[in-house]
Amino acid sequence: MKTSFNTVAIIGKFMNADALHKMQADLVNLARHLQSHHLAVYVEENTAQHAQINGFDTVPLSDVGDKADLAIVMGGDGTMLSVGRSLINANVPLVGINRGRFGFLTDLRAEDMLPSIDRILAGDFIEESRMLLATQVFRKGKLCHSGYALNDVVIKSGLRLIELEVDIDQKFVYKQRSDGLILTTPTGTTAYALSAGGPILHPNLEAITLVPICPHTLSNRPITVNSDSKIEVTLVQFDEAQLSIDGQFNVTLEVGDVIKVQRADKNITLLHLSDYCYFDMLRNKLNWG
């Protein structure tokens, strides 16, 4: 990982114009501060448009990997999830400034952002690699959807119980009736999977966790498997169901659909200040004593 950066892209909560308007001053201050360090600065084009930021070069999110060697994301965890998926093919490390609620992924405080960014520019950081899940939906043997998840892939009923079959590495695991199933990376174990009773996995683990949502049989418990595992979920019976990727992209499912989930062949890299501690973060965010 580089310890010096020449070109920085700034990405705000580009999906939400109202939120961008509220953080306009912070985005402009950050861009000017980076320029004072003699860095080339790009503002993601939707961020610049919705926040009405002028006077800086802009770049589409899809081209950030070609233009910048560091991306600073200002928003919440949802923004980081979306940016992380979009930049999966770009070897660009991400730094998150929290302007959301939790900040599990965007861990720099907005009020401390300039001195924190100065520390990172000076090389005072640690890097952390986060795995993603590659997801494919097959309908009648044909691929009808594919995507990547940094947090989780959720198969969920819209009305009543859903019946599904799970195979791991071509071995039958169980047939389950429940409200759905969450397949999560270690990153996603502090999201929906945690609310559904799943375990918290440290992000440096190489694992995938399967968490049933309100299973009809209480003996159906969360299980964790090696990240090399190939998981297939077949939709057997339901009235209505959909697949959700990171809670941001939904696909309507049909009976007989097969969802294949496995580790993606690329990771994303997050940068934290050198004194960052995952357990401190958990204690603060989850209000542990």
Domain ranges of the chain: 7-131+267-285, 133-263
What confidence score (pLDDT) does residue 160 get? 84
Judge contact between 108 and 98, C-beta under 8 A.
yes
Contact 48/42 with Cβ under 8 angstroms? Answer: no
- 7-131+267-285 and 133-263 share one CATH topology? no
Active site residue 118: no
Q: Residues 133-263: name the CATH superfamily.
A: Probable inorganic polyphosphate/atp-NAD kinase; domain 2 (2.60.200.30)
| Cβ atoms of residues 264 and 247 within 8 Å | no
The whole-number pLDDT of residue 3 equals 58
Residue ranges of E strands in 63-112: 70-75, 94-98, 108-109
pLDDT tens-place values along the chain, 289 residues long: 455 899 999 999 877 777 777 889 999 999 999 999 999 999 999 999 988 899 999 999 999 999 999 999 999 999 999 999 999 999 899 999 998 777 899 999 999 999 999 999 999 999 999 999 999 999 999 999 999 999 999 999 978 899 999 999 999 999 999 999 999 999 999 999 999 999 999 999 999 999 999 999 888 999 999 999 999 999 999 999 999 999 988 999 999 999 999 999 999 999 999 999 999 999 998 999 7
Of 29, 12, 176, the closest CA to residue 97 belongs to 12
Catalytic entry in 26, 69, 77, 246: 77
- Which overall architecture, per CATH, does domain 7-131+267-285 show? 3-Layer(aba) Sandwich (3.40)
Check residue 21 and give its pLDDT.
76
Q: Distance (Å, rounded) from C-alpha 157 to C-alpha 93? A: 36
Helix or strand run (H / E) with residue 64? helix 64-67
Give the pLDDT confidence score for residue 217 in this predicted structure.
87
Q: Are 270 and 204 in contact (CB under 8 A)?
A: no
Q: Which stretches does DSSP call E strand in 45-132?
A: 57-59, 70-75, 94-98, 108-109, 125-130
Q: Which residues pair with 143 in a beta bridge?
A: 138
Under 8 Å between Cβ of 105 and 97: no
Check the CA dihedral 113-247-130-264 and report its sign: negative
* pLDDT attached to residue 177: 95
